[in-house]
Structure 1
Amino acid sequence: MSVLQWGLLITGTVFCLISTWIDWDGSKVVREFMHHGILFPFQYMYYLVEVAMVLLIIVFGQYAFEKWFKNDKIPYGGILVALTWGLGHWLTKGSLGVGIYTAVGGFVFGGAYLLTNRNIKLSYLFLCIMFIL
C-alpha cells in the first residue's frame, strides 16, 4: 500500500471513530457494557459476524459491478453497502439522518476495502475498528 492509501485509510478510520464518539456521546464500548451487562460479550460476537457480512457484501458487490461495468475505479461495494445499509436503517429507525449517517459509514467501509488493495484480512481488521469501537 502506498503512503497515500495508508493516509486515507487512517483518515477514514479516525472519521468513523470520531463520529461514533459523537453519536454515542462517549465510548460506544463503555456505554454498551453498561447497558448490556452480562450479555455484552454476545453483542460483540454479533458485531464480529456483522462486520464479516458487510465485508462480504462489499467484496462480492465490488466484484460483480466491476464485471458488469468493466470499471475498477469506482467503489461499487461501498456504494452498495451505503444504499442497502443506509436505506435499511432509515426505514427501521424512522430517521433520514440515521440513514444518511449509516450510508456514509458504509461508503467509507467500501473505500477501506479498495484502499487495502482488496486485502480481506486487513479490511476486516479496519472495518472492525471502525464499526466496533
Structure 2
Amino acid sequence: MMANTVRAEKKIGASDYLALALYAFAGFGLEVVLSMVLPSILGVKGSEYTLLHQCIHWGITCLLWGGMALFLIRLSKHKYDFDIMRLNATPDARGWLLALVVSMIAIAATTIVWEGFKPVQEYKDVVRFIFQNVYYLFEAALILLTIAFGQKFGESLFKRDGLPYGGMFLALTWGLIHILLQGGATGGYAFFMSLLYGMIYIMLSKNVRYAYVVIAVVFVL
C-alpha cells in the first residue's frame, strides 16, 4: 500500500522523458547487435548475404524493433503516466498544409541524395522490395517514438512548447550516429531529415497516428 502511494506521489520530470527518448534511440542499436550475431548463426558473412539471408535479417530486425516499440509504449504509460497513444489532437488545415510542404521538401531532398526516386532506385525484385519497405515502416515507428519522447523531454525541461525538440533530439542521436557509422554526407542527410520529421510531428499537433503515417510515407519515399 505504501509503495503504491510513493509511486503515485513520484513526480515525473524531464529526466524520465529523457530516459524514454534514449531507450527509443537505443532500440536502433538492436540491429547492430543482430548484425554481429546473425552471420555466425547463418554461417555466412554479412557482405555475402543472399536475398534469403537479407530477408531473415530484415524480418528479425522488425520483430526486435516492434517489440521495443510496444515495450516503450507500455512503459511510458504505466511507469511515467505518458500515454503516447492518447496524443490524438486533430491538426488544423494550416498544420496539414505545412506538414505537406515539409514532406515535399523531405522527399525532394531524398530524391536528390538518391539521384532519383528512392523506391525506383532501390527496386531489384518484388520480395526484396516488400521486406525492405516493411523494415522501413518499423524503423519509422522508432523514429516517431524517439521524436515523441524527445519532444516531451524538451517541453518538460524548457517549459515551452511549439519548438521541434523531438526532431532536434533525433538529429543529435540518430542523425549523428549516421555520421559516425556512414560518413558525413549520409549523416548530414539523416541529421537534416530528423529535423524535418520533428517539424511534421509538431505541425500535426503531435497526433502520433497522423504523424506516423506521414513520417513513414516520407521515410519510404
TM-score by length of structure 2 reads 0.56
| Residue aligning to 2:174 | 85
CA RMSD across the alignment: 1.4
Distance 1:11 1:103 in 2: 19
The CA deviation string for residues 5-32 of structure 1, in whole angstroms up to 9 with x for no partner, is 2222111110111111111111211222
Does the alignment pair 1:118 with 2:211? Answer: no
Does the alignment pair 1:16 with 2:106? Answer: yes
| Residue aligning to 2:191 | 103
The answer to which structure, 1 or 2, has the higher relative contact order (CA under 8 A, 6+ apart) is: 1
Helix, strand or coil at the partner of 2:129 = helix
Structure 2 counterparts to residues 1-133 of structure 1, below 5 A? 1-34=91-124, 38-94=127-183, 96-133=184-221
Distance 2:96 2:131 in 1: 32
Letter in 2 for 1:103: F
1:2 to 1:38, Cα distance in 2 relative to 1, 3 A? closer
Alignment coverage as a number of residue pairs: 131
The answer to which of 46-55 and 122-131 deviates more is 122-131
Letter in 1 for 2:218: M
Distance 1:73 1:15 in 2: 20
Give the C-alpha shift of residue 45 in structure 1. 1.0
Distance 2:119 2:162 in 1: 35
Distance 1:74 1:49 in 2: 26
Name stretches of at least 5 consecutive residues in structure 2 with no aligned partner: 1-90
Give the C-alpha shift of residue 37 in structure 1. 5.2
Distance 1:29 1:112 in 2: 21
Distance 1:109 1:71 in 2: 19
Structure richer in helix, relative to its length = 1
Name stretches of at least 5 consecutive residues in structure 1 with no aligned partner: none
Rg comparison, structure with higher value: 2
Helix, strand or coil at the partner of 1:118 = coil
Letter in 2 for 1:117: S
Distance 2:159 2:215 in 1: 26
Give the C-alpha shift of residue 78 in structure 1. 0.5
TM-score by length of structure 1 reads 0.90
Give the C-alpha shift of residue 68 in structure 1. 2.0
